[in-house]
Amino acid sequence: MHLIPKTTAMNYIVGKPLGAGGFATVYSGVRRKDGMLVAMKFIDKSTLQNNFVWSTRCRRFVPFEIHLLEKTNNIPGVIRVIDWYETWQHFVIVMERRDTLITLQEYLETKGFLCENEARDITRQLTFTIENLMRVGVFHRDLKPSNILLDIETRETKIIDFGCGDIFCKGQYTTFCGTAAFMPPEWFRVGSYGAEEATVWSLGLVLLIMLTGAEPFPTHKDIAACHLYKVVPVFLSQSCKNFIFHCMASEPSRRCKLHEIISHRFLLC
């Protein structure tokens, strides 16, 4: 479904806040005409600065996040956008919401950590979604458990929050955007990173967090040093450890490519 700007918010009832970040707040909501549950992300215009791009679909300048969501709205593993509209102070993105969806972070806080089979299924889904994102030219840049939704009934995953996203390119990115704890070691060493290499690092890191219930590197210095042998549990299967070490290799040139990850034996088990 194409995103169509609205001049009024009367189509929706805004409910309680679901979460807040540095630049936006997400509320529960209901669509008036049919009672459909939605999530409504209110983005403060004052935080956007000049972060706008021309949309050929809307024939106007829109926030970069909306532009990225236009490109990803047909990808199954990405949260589905229903609508968006503009007020005097905010851009509001209206997204699908189900009572069975919780963040992976919330799920881990309840479970503590996951077994390999469950972590493998989530990683497999994320890998295919990320590959599809890059095929349409989108670099999420902030992949972490709090930006991944899990349906506790269907086990389906959804990636959310493209506020730190960018257009995928083959060159190096020299601007920090995202969550420092999930940035790759090269950012702290040389101040730059590649989209694919950083994404592969994040996939490996999310898997490691699922299996241990904790972030492995407490400081930026620890990330830069990247002593994986100290944080990867010995009880994991050999294929799982191999997957993590190949995704989180200290040198970005030694990390797996996305197409190699998809066919890795750990995901094929």
Any idea which residues carry the catalytic annotation? 142
**CA angle, residues 245, 221, 235, in degrees to nearest 5:** 35
Residue 158 CA to residue 149 CA, distance in Å, equals 5
Residue 189 near residue 107, CB atoms below 8 Å = no
**CA angle, residues 114, 102, 216, in degrees to nearest 5:** 40
Find all residues with CB under 8 Å of 73, minimum gap 6, and list them: 1, 2, 3, 80, 81
Residue 266 near residue 243, CB atoms below 8 Å = yes
Residue 207 near residue 244, CB atoms below 8 Å = yes
Closest by alpha carbon to 159, among 204, 201, 128, 113? 128
Helices (H) and strands (E) in the chain, counts: 9, 15
